[in-house]
A = this chain, B = another copy of it.
Amino acid sequence: MFAPRCPSREVFAELVDKWSMLILMTLSSCGPQRFSELQRAVGGVSRKMLTQSLRNLERSGLVRRTVFPETPPRVVYDLLPLGRELAELVEPLGRWTERRAEQMMAAREEFDAAHAEG
């Protein structure tokens, strides 16, 4: 993963993306979701970015896209076993960030103040 041309670097670079991670966490905690539900859950994501991230996750075998032949067709996204594995590793990262966000914001203010003086 530390070598630029290794497949694991390529895969890592695509998975390590805020939208993909927020999508995985949403599917993991809320179960199967429609596109519009995901868009509501992952605040601030554009249609385009959500489409692209879901397609990447589907392409790598992490998420399954199922079309139910209704009128209009219902499209549902859910986690495949590989996606579930990854979601379980991403969740602690999310919880940690929420727990430490305030501390990191304070560190930033301090850093910015010190560098403004300098």
Q: Which residues of A contact B (CB under 8 A)?
A: 1-4, 6-9, 11-13, 15-18, 21-22, 26, 41-44, 58-62, 82, 85-86, 89-90, 92-94, 96-98, 100-108, 110-112
Contact of A1 among B82, B92, B98 (CB under 8 A): B98
For this chain, the copies found in one complex come to 2
Q: Which residues of chain B come closer than 8 Å to A62, judged between CB atoms?
A: 104
What DSSP secondary structure best describes chain A's contact surface?
helix
> How far, in angstroms, from A2 to B42 measured CA to CA in the complex?
5
Q: Are A100 and B112 in contact (CB under 8 A)?
A: no
Q: Are A89 and B93 in contact (CB under 8 A)?
A: yes
Looking at A11, A13, A62, A104, which has the most chain B CB atoms within 10 Å of its CB? A104
Q: Are A1 and B102 in contact (CB under 8 A)?
A: no
Q: Are A41 and B101 in contact (CB under 8 A)?
A: no
Q: Are B61 and A97 in contact (CB under 8 A)?
A: no
